[in-house]
Structure 1
Amino acid sequence: MLYPIPSHLSDLPIYKKAMEIIILSRSISTYLNQDLSYLKPDGSEDAHIYFSGDIIQQSTSLAPEIVNAEIERHTDKKYKHIASLERLTTMLYKNCKRLEQSHSNGREYLPILRRELRKFRRLQHTWMMTL
């Protein structure tokens, strides 16, 4: 369900960090796709290309989960959004680690994204205490 985003959310540190992660993951994925989109000599594609799409999808889902948790009135539904946010963060981190094993020049940027995700997790912990 789509709700208007409350104006105070743009001031939340966790929301700002989620937006930074979206931009960073899109930039990294674009860079990786240039290297990973070529077919191998045997005609198969690099399996890592799918993980680059996953990091975009997962990072794009972070901010809406924050918004939904903030505007939800019922505690049980609020915790479902928080749990979803935790799962997204974990999967995003794992996919970054998988992409670091790819044969792309862009993999050197993935530790930057993982470092930002660690910062996001710290913000997430603090933010959850305020809900």
Structure 2
Amino acid sequence: MDIFILSRSISTYLNDDLCLLDVDGKENNDIYFTGDIIQQSSNLAPEIINAERERFSDKKHKHIESLDRLTYRLYKNCRRLENTNSNGKDYLPILQSELKKFRILKRNWMLTL
């Protein structure tokens, strides 16, 4: 939940800077990554719940693989947003450190399944 709240706050902060059009009238393509981090972080909790509920290990592993993909994409989108022209990018290392903690917790959690 902390990752979701952080990503939502960072996205809102970045949207204010990135929603402006360039001088030539083009939009900033990096604004789409802000929506991606919200979507990916909101999908983490349902995947954890689905993995916990599954009885068969092969189905559990599918949810775990989905979690791996989500965390990887979330981390990559944070890296992409670091290159934006916004003051909000200073808060991205906080989200990245939470993702690192989540990966460690996920490894320990997987051993209990």
TM-score by length of 1: 0.85
Q: Name the amino acid aligned to 2:73.
A: M
Pair 1:30 & 2:19 matched? no
**What SS does structure 1 have at the residue aligned with 2:80?**
helix
**What SS does structure 1 have at the residue aligned with 2:43?**
helix
Q: CA deviation at 1:123?
A: 0.3
**What SS does structure 2 have at the residue aligned with 1:114?**
helix
The alignment's C-alpha RMSD in Å is: 0.4
Q: Which residue does the alignment assign to 2:50?
A: 68
Q: Which residue does the alignment assign to 1:107?
A: 89
Q: Name the amino acid aligned to 2:17.
A: D
**What SS does structure 2 have at the residue aligned with 1:103?**
coil
Q: CA deviation at 1:74?
A: 1.3
Q: Which residue does the alignment assign to 2:41?
A: 59
Q: 2:53, 2:87 → 1: CA distance?
A: 41
Which aligned segments of 4 or more residues in structure 1 are displaced greater than 2 angstroms?
Answer: none
**What SS does structure 2 have at the residue aligned with 1:43?**
coil
Q: Name the amino acid aligned to 1:110.
A: L
Which among 117, 121, 124 is matched to residue 99 of structure 2? Answer: 117
Name structure 1 gaps, 5 residues minimum: 1-18
Q: Which residue does the alignment assign to 2:22?
A: 40
Q: Which residue does the alignment assign to 1:3?
A: none
Q: 1:46, 1:77 → 2: CA distance?
A: 39
Q: Which residue does the alignment assign to 2:68?
A: 86
Q: Which residue does the alignment assign to 1:95?
A: 77
Q: Which residue does the alignment assign to 1:4?
A: none
Q: CA deviation at 1:75?
A: 1.0
Name structure 2 gaps, 5 residues minimum: none
Q: CA deviation at 1:54?
A: 0.2
Give the fraction of aligned pairs with identical amino acids, expressed as a percent.
67
